[in-house]
Amino acid sequence: MSEPLISVENVWFKYTKKQDWVLRGVSLEIKRGEFIGVIGETGAGKTTLAKHLNGLLKPVKGRVLVLGMDTRRTPTSKIARHVGYLFQNPDSQIYSATIRDELSVGLKKLGFRDAEIEERIKWALEVVDLKKPLDMSPHVLSFGERHRLAIATLLAIKPDVFVLDEPFAGIDYKRSLQLLQVFKELTKKGHAVVLITHDLQLISELATRVVFMKSGVILRDSKPEDVIGDVEFLESNNYTPLQVTVIGVKLGLGRPIRVVDLARELEKRLQL
Amino acid sequence: MPAPAVEIRDLWFKYAGASEWTLRNLNLRVEEGEFVVVMGPSGCGKSTLLYILTGIIPNMIKGEIRGSVYVLGRDVLKLPPSEIVKNVGFVFQNPDSQIIMPSVYEEVTFGLENMGLPPDEISRIAREVLEYTGLWEKRDLSPWSLSAGERQVLAIASALALRPRILILDEPTSMLDHKDTMRVLKLISKLKEELKMTIIVVEHRIEWAVEVADRVVIMENGEFIAQGTPAEVFSRVDVIKRSGVRPPMIAEVFYYLIERGCRVDRIPVTAREGLEVLSRVLSRGVCA
Residue A48 belongs to domain with CATH number: 3.40.50.300
Confidence check: pLDDT of A249 > 70: yes
Helical (H) or strand (E) element with B218: strand B215-220
Closest-CA residue in chain B for A267?
A: B257
Confidence check: pLDDT of A247 > 70: yes
Report the first-to-last Cα separation within chain A, whole angstroms: 42
B230 part of contact set with chain A, CB < 8 Å: no
By Cβ distance, the residue of A42, A169, A271 closest to B174 is A169
By Cβ distance, the residue of B175, B182, B250 closest to A243 is B250
Closest-CA residue in chain A for B247?
A: A173
Q: Could you give the residue ranges of the DSSP H alpha helices within B163-261? A: 178-195, 206-212, 230-235, 237-242, 249-259
pLDDT tens for A136-177 read: 888 888 777 888 899 999 999 999 999 998 887 667 777 788
Q: Is residue A194 part of a domain?
A: yes
Residues B69-92, mean pLDDT to the nearest whole number: 93
Greater model confidence, A146 or B278: B278
B250 part of contact set with chain A, CB < 8 Å: yes
Q: How far apart are CA B181 and CA B29, in angstroms?
A: 28
Confidence check: pLDDT of B154 > 80: yes
Q: Is residue A254 part of a domain?
A: no
Greater model confidence, A259 or B17: A259
ipTM above 0.90, yes or no: no
B179 part of contact set with chain A, CB < 8 Å: yes
Q: Is residue A87 part of a domain?
A: yes
CATH code for residues B6-247: 3.40.50.300
Cβ within 8 Å, pair B244-A173: yes
Confidence class for position B150, pLDDT limits 50, 70, 90: very high
φ, ψ for residue B198, nearest 5 deg: -80, 125
**Arithmetic mean of pLDDT over chain B:** 92
Cβ within 8 Å, pair A42-B177: yes
Question: How confident is the model at residue B96, as a pLDDT?
Answer: 86
B286 part of contact set with chain A, CB < 8 Å: yes
Question: How confident is the model at residue A170, as a pLDDT?
Answer: 63
Of A50, A37, A42, A56, which is closest to residue A8 (Cα–Cα)? A50
pLDDT tens for B235-270 read: 998 999 888 888 999 999 999 999 999 888 889 999
Q: How far apart are CA B48 and CA A229, in angstroms?
A: 39
Give chain B positions within 8 Å (CB) of A41. 177-179
Question: How confident is the model at residue A72, as a pLDDT?
Answer: 96
Cβ within 8 Å, pair B253-A269: no
Question: How confident is the model at residue B141, as a pLDDT?
Answer: 95
Question: How confident is the model at residue B197, as a pLDDT?
Answer: 93
Give chain A positions within 8 Å (CB) of B175. 169
Question: How confident is the model at residue A169, as a pLDDT?
Answer: 66
Cβ within 8 Å, pair A172-B41: yes
The mean-pLDDT minimum among A166-170, A264-268, B16-20, B229-233 falls in A166-170
By Cβ distance, the residue of A250, A263, A272 closest to B253 is A263
Cis before residue B58, ω within 30 degrees of 0?
Answer: yes
pLDDT tens for B19-37 read: 899 999 999 999 999 999 9
Give chain B positions within 8 Å (CB) of A235. none
By Cβ distance, the residue of A142, A240, A272 closest to B261 is A272
Give chain B positions within 8 Å (CB) of A238. 178-179, 182
Candidates A247, A257, A258: best to mutate against B (most CBs of B within 10 A) is: A247
Give chain A positions within 8 Å (CB) of B275. 247, 250-251
Question: Which string of b and e fits A120-150 if b means at least 16 CB within 10 Å?
Answer: bbeebbebbebeeeeeeebeebeebbbbbbb
Helical (H) or strand (E) element with A234: helix A231-236
**Concatenated DSSP letters of A125-184:** HHHHT----TTS-GGGS-HHHHHHHHHHHHHHH--SEEEEESTTTTS-HHHHHHHHHHHH
Confidence check: pLDDT of B233 > 90: yes
Task: State how far the alpha carbon of A210 is from the alpha carbons of A64, A125, A205, B220, in Å.
Answer: 20, 29, 12, 34
Q: How far apart are CA A271 and CA A251, in angstroms?
A: 17
Confidence class for position B108, pLDDT limits 50, 70, 90: very high
**Which regions of chain B carry the CATH code 3.40.50.300?**
6-247
Question: How confident is the model at residue B242, as a pLDDT?
Answer: 85
pLDDT tens for B164-207 read: 999 999 989 877 777 888 889 999 999 988 988 999 999 888 88
Closest-CA residue in chain B for A243?
A: B271
Q: Is residue A237 part of a domain?
A: no
Question: How confident is the model at residue B288, as a pLDDT?
Answer: 67
Domain containing residue A59: 6-224
Give chain B positions within 8 Å (CB) of A236. none
Task: State how far the alpha carbon of B284 is from the alpha carbons of A253, A270, B147, B278, B279, in Å.
Answer: 16, 9, 51, 10, 9
Q: How far apart are CA B219 and CA B40, in angstroms?
A: 5
Question: In this structure, which amino acid lies at residue A22?
Answer: V
Closest-CA residue in chain A for B246?
A: A173
Cβ within 8 Å, pair A244-B248: no
Give chain A positions within 8 Å (CB) of B204. 172-173
Of B249, B210, B120, which is closest to residue A263 (Cα–Cα)? B249
> Please, is A220 exposed, middle or buried when counting C-beta atoms within 10 Å of its C-beta (0-12, 13-18, 19+)?
middle
**Arithmetic mean of pLDDT over chain A:** 91
pLDDT tens for A199-244 read: 899 999 999 999 999 999 999 999 999 999 999 999 999 888 999 9
Closest-CA residue in chain B for A252?
A: B279
Q: How far apart are CA B4 and CA B7, in angstroms?
A: 6
Q: Is residue A251 part of a domain?
A: no
Distance in Å, alpha carbon of B137 to nearest chain A alpha carbon: 23
Give the number of domains in chain A: 1
Closest-CA residue in chain A for B274?
A: A247
Confidence check: pLDDT of B209 > 60: yes
Give the neighbor-by-neighbor strand order of the sheet with A217-222.
A83-86, A161-165, A192-196, A35-39, A209-214, A217-222
**Concatenated DSSP letters of A68-113:** TEETTTS-HHHHHTTEEEE-SSGGGT---SSHHHHHHHHHHHTT--
Percent composition of chain A: helix, strand, coil (DSSP 3-state, to 5): 40, 20, 40
Cβ within 8 Å, pair A201-B249: yes
| DSSP three-state, residue B69 | strand
